[in-house]
Structure 1
Amino acid sequence: MDQVVSVIGPPDSRDGSKAIWTYERISTNRVPVQHYINGRYVTIGFRTERIRYHCTYTAALNAGRIASSQYDGNNCYPFAPKLPT
């Protein structure tokens, strides 16, 4: 548990049997608007799209140690604790 806390910070909630971390972010991407003109695609402008990233990491605890864990959501990779093996 201490290794995970040192990498991704303290859990948002914790009791004797589980700890829960949440990660949420909204990003705005520029997407090109293209038309097919004279046999090639030409960018004629851009539109924006908002993407909501949300990830919940739940760890089941046993005597203060992580017995098992699970990710739910989209784009959990940046939030995943990278721990030495």
Structure 2
Amino acid sequence: MTVQDWAAQRCTISYRAPELFNVESHCIIDERTDIWSLGCVLYCMMMLEGPYDMIFQKGDSVALAVQNPVTIPPTCRSVQKLQQPVSS
């Protein structure tokens, strides 16, 4: 509960790794939680909003949303550029 309370106080909810919402006894919290948050930051840099920001703003459960894969809108111009083959 200490780790869970710490995460609730210090981690932005829409960037928090799934394992920090319900920390189980003897759970290992390591650099993978930081990688999750980094992925959310990179997503935000590309999309100009975090992957779970709209869910949080609507008042829906971010803790449930992080259990599902993130979908990238197909109309995003940044994604279209990333999917183009790299020319040599």
Higher-helix-fraction structure? 2
Q: Tell me if both proteins adopt one fold, taking TM over 0.5 as the criterion.
A: no
Question: Which category describes the TM-score, using the shorter chain as reference length?
Answer: under 0.3
Higher-strand-fraction structure? 1
- TM-score of the superposed pair, with normalisation by structure 2: 0.23
**Greater RCO, 1 or 2 (C-alpha within 8 Å, sep 6+):** 1
- TM-score of the superposed pair, with normalisation by structure 1: 0.24
Q: State which structure, 1 or 2, has the greater radius of gyration over its C-alpha atoms.
A: 1
